[in-house]
A and B are shown apart, each in its own frame.
Chain A
Amino acid sequence: MDKNFVVASKEGSSYSDDAEPTHCNMCKWDLVVPYIEGRKMDRVCRYKQLKRGVYLVEVWDTYHPLRPGRYGNQRSVLRARYQLKVFKNGPIKNLKPIGRCEQYYWKGGLRHLKVFSEDGTTLKDVTLDSKGRLKTYTDSTRGEFNQRIVSYSYDEDKRILRRWRGRYEDWRAEGGGWNIPNECIVRRNENGMPLLDNGDFTETAYSGTKASPYKTRDIKYVAGRKHGVERTYNKFGRVILEEFFHHGTELPRWMAIKPEDVTVNEILDEGNAEVRRAILELQGYEVFLARCEAAGQLRVVDQDPDDKVGTLIHIDLPKLVGAARSSDTNRVSLLRVKDGTLPKHYVLRVPPHMKTARQANAWTWGLKENQYTPAIER
């Protein structure tokens, strides 16, 4: 199974690892969802057979033309529509991307990108000049593709048409959009970090105001950690991937874009402590606790003099996500502890029957209240 291409399930709502593209009951087309470096792209290719060997193919900007995007009310935009002729007995499953970008290195000021297939043979060899422009481009797979675009048309969006017309020849030469994921060229330094010198391909944004921290200004790393939006462009300059970081922690897009809209329940429901800490920092502990106070009753039960032991807080909510037992229905016990080294706080969830902060902290280590006596805390 090619990892770059994963296929929609029969319902078109969740995605499985089936080798074959599957039929969608909603739109009655067959769907293929491209992956880039293990992440689903916000794009779906769907096709139907017109006659033997000839397919009508559409590329949509969201997962499914009949569904809104992953993150709210994103509109589905038709990016491309073309007819595809498949030769020999080539089934549509042969429309697969050609390999993964596995190695980046420097060579006498030139940047060199090689794309390898899974058995290690070089499929593509791309050289960039010092400004990141394409210098040489070799593609050993081109002859192996048993597909060709026989007709091509855009309708509906004239603006997109204008943007794409000049690029169509290039685009067609490289597989007609099917291998767009592999056209991603990310320049990285020796440590694998995206290059940030002139921001041609990778850019990030400084934290701006508290309300909208990702309004783009020019930035990069804060204290050695990624902070802001990292965008990955394909060689046509289109954004194909956006990743959101808060001091080194990657956040889901919907949280990062509007942290003030993340509700109390969504934060409590988040399984990852780093993500939870990041979103609490973005939103502000004060805001979060004030919302808890407004929503239900918030009580500081016990505040230990040692900030590393923490503060025990009880939050009583009318409705709690994930409550299993009746006694837990409306109580969340949280322990707010300081990190051992850095001046940041974590909020950990503890059982509702905890009485003191020290007891709660010892519980997180599986110990009794008087057993937790760390000699060194880092």
Chain B
Amino acid sequence: MEQYRHGDLLIMPVDSIPKGAKQTEKSKQRILAYGEVTGHAHRLSAGTVTELGGETFFTTTVETTLTHDEHGPIVFKPGNYRVVHQKEYSPDYGSIRVAD
């Protein structure tokens, strides 16, 4: 399975986007993740970004480029993708999302 790592995101192709995934304010701007301290965002040039239960998905019918101020761009072929946020261990919560 193809995997693409973009900073604290890992993007993997999936067969289909699960039903019920919805667009939020953030995903309408095609932002996959947002750094609260640095203000940098992982942003897609095309496609539809949806979220379901804390997981992020995107689907695209054209080639789309994922950009970030501090990471090189990655071009994705048309298809459905799932975005995994990097997590780290926390004694209190088991695991938490890596924040940047």
- Which residues of A come within 8 Å of B, CB atoms? 248-250, 271-275, 320, 322-325, 328, 333, 339-342, 348-352, 363-366, 372-378
**Do residues B84 and A248 form an inter-chain contact, with CB atoms below 8 A?**
no
A213–B3 Cα distance when bound, in Å, is: 40
A272–B71 Cα distance when bound, in Å, is: 19
A274, A324, A350, A378: the one contacting B73 at CB < 8 Å is A378
**Do residues A274 and B86 form an inter-chain contact, with CB atoms below 8 A?**
no
**Do residues A366 and B84 form an inter-chain contact, with CB atoms below 8 A?**
yes
Q: Tell me if B18 is interfacial: C-beta within 8 Å of chain A.
A: no
Give every chain B residue within 8 A of A273 (Cβ-Cβ). Answer: 8, 88, 98-100
A75–B26 Cα distance when bound, in Å, is: 43
A351–B87 Cα distance when bound, in Å, is: 11
- Which residues of B come within 8 Å of A, CB atoms? 1-8, 10, 35-38, 68, 70-74, 84, 86-92, 96, 98-100
Known: A248-B38, A272-B37, A274-B37. A377 touches B88 (CB 8 A): no
Expressed in whole angstroms, the minimum distance between the Cβ of A183 and any Cβ of chain B is: 26
Residue of A nearest to B3 (CB): A374
**Do residues B2 and A364 form an inter-chain contact, with CB atoms below 8 A?**
no
Give every chain A residue within 8 A of B7 (Cβ-Cβ). Answer: 339-341, 378
A375–B90 Cα distance when bound, in Å, is: 28
A249, A324, A340: the one contacting B38 at CB < 8 Å is A249
A376–B7 Cα distance when bound, in Å, is: 11
Give every chain A residue within 8 A of B2 (Cβ-Cβ). Answer: 375
Give every chain B residue within 8 A of A349 (Cβ-Cβ). Answer: 88-90
A320–B90 Cα distance when bound, in Å, is: 12
User: Can you sample 14 A-B contacts with CB below 8 Å?
Assistant: A322-B92, A328-B91, A339-B71, A340-B72, A341-B71, A341-B72, A348-B86, A351-B89, A352-B89, A364-B87, A376-B5, A376-B74, A378-B68, A378-B73
**Do residues B6 and A348 form an inter-chain contact, with CB atoms below 8 A?**
no
Besides A272-B36, A325-B91, A378-B6, 15 other A-B contacts (C-beta < 8 A): A273-B8, A273-B98, A322-B90, A324-B91, A324-B92, A333-B89, A339-B70, A341-B72, A342-B70, A348-B88, A348-B98, A366-B87, A374-B4, A374-B5, A375-B4
Residue of B nearest to A247 (CB): B38
Give every chain A residue within 8 A of B36 (Cβ-Cβ). Answer: 272
Known: A249-B38, A322-B91, A349-B89. A340 touches B100 (CB 8 A): no
Residue of B nearest to A328 (CB): B91
**Do residues B10 and A365 form an inter-chain contact, with CB atoms below 8 A?**
yes
Give every chain B residue within 8 A of A271 (Cβ-Cβ). Answer: 96, 99
Expressed in whole angstroms, the minimum distance between the Cβ of A282 and any Cβ of chain B is: 14
Give every chain B residue within 8 A of A377 (Cβ-Cβ). Answer: 5
Expressed in whole angstroms, the minimum distance between the Cβ of A75 and any Cβ of chain B is: 30
**Do residues B71 and A340 form an inter-chain contact, with CB atoms below 8 A?**
yes
Give every chain B residue within 8 A of A375 (Cβ-Cβ). Answer: 2-4
